[in-house]
Structure 1
């Protein structure tokens, strides 16, 4: 993987942690998430002229991916309503590969290589450490942990569907652009129905946050899609998950969440586990 691609993937990881932080620091997080995803859709629209329309064979998967991403867009801010960025983010990101690994073993008979097994164990230890942490774990903040784990289920599900859909679409970037437009519009419409006129007040007072978050969200996703087309997927995916460490840094130095040494250890275990679990050939 070239130095330029490495830097861009690290940028994508930082962007992903960054827009999550914007959601966390906002007041009505569901409403702000809706504004962020709508901004991402509007940002994506002009690119329709430069990408191929996904093959009709991929449309069912595209529709399912839109639904799964939309669910993710709601469960994530609800988790942030009850927990810290430094707690919710690693649980959500770290639990997804564990779920995918378990599902692959049960339903597809896929057996991991030894190094990947070590990675999954690191993931499990890191996620469980945050889940059962005495100061902020499930005993103190059960809703934060539960919604973070549900978010992880959404991530695991859309990861599989995105991969299958992009392969059938004939155009990876075309699939990505249509997806970001679709899930942003659906997220906003559901939030508008849920929040009513309040959504417009939130939108007016968070225009800068919404636009910045939307560009960061879409930019991070497109960079990864682009990098996957040019570099080894395992390396790209592993490097992408350094977003967990970026989130730890933001949680500590920007949000002042009291991110102690044990949380850094947990975040480090999650990052190491994500890297090793991508080693499966």
Structure 2
């Protein structure tokens, strides 16, 4: 994997951490997730009316990705209702790298070398270490199942988008339609929260939609990288967003243990290096 592709994926991970930090600091996380989805839709509309359609072969993948993204937002919202973000998030993200690598091996025939699998394992362990204290405090059964369901949805849409964007013939068009079709998530959430929307401060609207724009950029960078690297490796590098989020939590939100998070960051950096050298 070239340094350029690694830099693209790590940039996406950092952007992903930023929008998750926005959700984490929100008073109403469900509403904020709806505004994040809306932040995808607004630029998505402009792009789909100005860009050519992606290839017909990729359209079923766009549709399936939209359905799975809906499930992802639903599972994530429910997980946050039953458990703290510091517990739910590492569980959900921690299972993703191995699952995506497994799905890619089964359905796409992408075989990763042993060195890459070791790198994936280091990243997955680093994810858990970054929130070890919160995880040790325990997680309720309901929150656990929703967190696992969230991770499963992430792994499925990661595979679907990886195959779809390769078939699309136009990464930007595929990205545009994927962003625009977040409209279903935005409408579902905002209709359910319609009674509270008029009382939302302008700052909440701005932060939510800004988070959506950041999330959309992260999504586009990952789609671009999937054209040039194995899906399991891309997913593992993308999940370093957890350590970026942990560092934001420590430096900006003044939470957590810096020694543990530094250790997690070093583990994940070793994992990134192993993957980069292996593929």
Q: TM-score, normalised by structure 2?
A: 0.80
2:46 equivalent in structure 1: 46
CA contact (8 A) 2:127 2:243 kept: no
**Aligned 1:1-281 pairs, distance under 5 A:** 1=2, 9-81=9-81, 82-85=83-86, 87-103=87-103, 112-127=112-127, 129=129, 133=132, 135-137=133-135, 140-142=138-140, 144-183=143-182, 185-202=183-200, 204=202, 206-227=204-225, 240-270=238-268, 272-273=270-271, 276-277=274-275, 281=279
The Cα of 1:63 is off from its aligned counterpart by: 0.9
C-alpha distance in 1, partners of 2:107/2:166?
21
Structure 1 pair 110–43 and aligned structure 2 pair: CA distance change class (3 A): closer
Q: Which moved more, 1:88-97 or 1:17-26?
A: 88-97
| Kept in 1: contact 2:240–2:268 (CA 8 A) | no
Alignment coverage as a number of residue pairs: 275
Per the normalisation by structure 1, the TM-score is 0.80
SS of 1:208 mapped into structure 2: helix
Change in CA separation of 1:63 and 1:73 when aligned onto 2, cut-off 3 Å:
same
Cα distance, 1:74–1:139 mapped onto 2, change above 3 Å: same
Provide Cα deviations, 1:76-124, integer angstroms capped at 9, x if missing partner. 3444452244x54443333111122344566778654220231243245
Contact kept? 1:244, 1:270, Cα under 8 Å: no
Judging changes above 3 Å, is the alpha-carbon distance between structure 1 residues 114 and 179 closer, same or farther for their aligned structure 2 residues? Answer: same
Please state how far the C-alpha of 1:172 moved relative to its aligned partner.
1.6
Cα distance in 1 for residues equivalent to 2:145 and 2:270:
23
Unaligned regions of 5+ residues in structure 1, if any? none
Q: Is the 8 A contact 1:17 1:247 kept in 2?
A: yes
Q: Return the offset for 1:193.
A: 4.0
Say whether the 8 Å CA contact 1:241–1:274 is kept in structure 2: no
Over the aligned positions, Cα root-mean-square deviation in angstroms equals 3.3
CA distance, structure 2, for counterparts of residue 270 and residue 149 of structure 1: 21
- CA 1:264/1:146 → structure 2, altered by over 3 Å: closer, same or farther? farther
Displacement of 1:224: 3.3
| Structure 1, 201-210 or 146-155: larger mean CA deviation | 201-210
Change (3 A) 1:274 1:157: farther
Q: Give the 3 Å change call, closer, same or farther, for CA 200–72 of structure 1 in structure 2.
A: farther
| Contact 2:45/2:180, CA 8 A, preserved across alignment | yes
Bigger shift: 12-21 or 42-51? 42-51
From the superposition, tell whether residues 122 and 226 of structure 1 become closer, same or farther in structure 2 (CA, over 3 Å): closer
Unaligned runs of 5+ in 2: none
Shift of 1:137: 1.7
243-252 vs 194-203, which moves further = 194-203
